Structure 1
Amino acid sequence: MVSTREQARERAAEAAGQVRDPEMPMLTLADLGVLRAVEVERDARGGAAVIVSITPTYTGCPAMATMRDDLVHRLNDAGFPRVEVRVALSPPWSSDWISERGRAALREAGLSAPGPAPRRDGPVPLTLGPARLAPPCPRCGSAETRLTSEFGSTACKALYRCTGCLEPFEHVKEI
């Protein structure tokens, strides 16, 4: 038998899982891998408090406040009047956390989904050279692409151009 608390947690997790990323609305926070945990605890008055943990895609992400507000509103609308959103910085977010459904949604929206995140054991070397990545074009599939700018419409995306179909596209960076 599922407890009332577990049922409330499942309802809260379902509601939180529907919140969309403000910068890439084709993705939910769950598909992006930003939504880390949803818990329900009893507060001092005997009511339920929902605790949501999210992880920014990078330090200083300007969308965090909007994500927090959207989570609070969605959970309030789902019948949870007390919501606390916590930021979890460890482990840091990785583009590997984007779900397959999220990667497909990025491609359908004309964005290049990130490949595997770089694996690092030990210190992270500081490199200031240009990126050597050549993601495939999300429109025609060509591997002949060029970096146009390290920064796209948001800091977590880079701008590329396909030399096959000549179309520009954004690529979600591997982190």
Structure 2
Amino acid sequence: MPDPEIPVVTIEDLGILRDVTEDDRGWVHVQVTPTYSGCPAMDAIADDVVERLTRAGYLHVDVEFVLSPAWSTDDISAAGLAKLAAYGIAPPSPTGPVALTLSVRCPQCGSLDTRESSRFGSTACKSLWVCNACREPFDHFKAL
């Protein structure tokens, strides 16, 4: 199911869908981890999960928000990273012991001549950048 804030990726692509189990009664338990504490999309995601599984014929569905282990941008699948880039959102770089972003590649023209114009973009998990080469603004998914 698509993420409500970035509909080009699914919650599985983002790596926030942690587990789905069905017990012997046919009850489904879904575990989801927010991208950050207080993410406003979590209620919409839970409602979507319940609605879709109920429409698929499951009579009892519950969604649990799991905070540990914390979500990281390293959890985004390769397909998710590619979808973000194709959509015009610069995907995060892999994190390591020290996450330092010197530049972000423009998803429009590929230039590394970019600058951050705002630490917060269209959502709190993204920052707003501008390409100095093509002059286009773009979101960058923050590495967490």
- What's the TM-score bracket when you normalise by the shorter of the two chains? over 0.9
Across the two proteins, how many residue pairs are aligned to each other? 143
Structure 1 runs (4+) deviating above 4 angstroms are: none
Match of 1:138 among 104, 107, 123: 107
List runs of 5+ in structure 1 lacking aligned partners.
1-18, 121-130
The alpha-carbon deviation at position 54 of structure 1 amounts to: 0.3
- 1:15 equivalent in structure 2: none
The alpha-carbon deviation at position 119 of structure 1 amounts to: 3.0
- 1:153 equivalent in structure 2: 122
- 2:30 equivalent in structure 1: 52
User: Is 2:69 aligned against 1:91?
Assistant: yes
CA pair 59-104 structure 1, distance change in 2 beyond 3 A: same
List runs of 5+ in structure 2 lacking aligned partners.
none
Q: 2:9 & 2:127 partners in 1: Cα distance?
A: 18
1:158–1:172 contact (8 Å) kept in structure 2: yes
Q: 2:2 & 2:122 partners in 1: Cα distance?
A: 17
Q: 2:36 & 2:108 partners in 1: Cα distance?
A: 27
Higher relative contact order (CA 8 A, sep 6+): 2
Q: 2:59 & 2:85 partners in 1: Cα distance?
A: 36
1:118–1:174 contact (8 Å) kept in structure 2: no
Indicate the structure (1 or 2) with the bigger Cα radius of gyration.
1
Given residue 137 of structure 2, which amino acid in structure 1 is its aligned partner? P
- 2:5 equivalent in structure 1: 23
1:33–1:98 contact (8 Å) kept in structure 2: yes
Q: TM-score, normalised by structure 1?
A: 0.79
Q: Deviations over 1:115-169 (max 9, x none)?
A: 112437xxxxxxxxxx854110001000110000001110000000001111100
1:145–1:162 contact (8 Å) kept in structure 2: yes
Q: TM-score, normalised by structure 2?
A: 0.95
- 1:110 equivalent in structure 2: 88
Match of 2:58 among 68, 80, 83: 80
Percent identical: 48
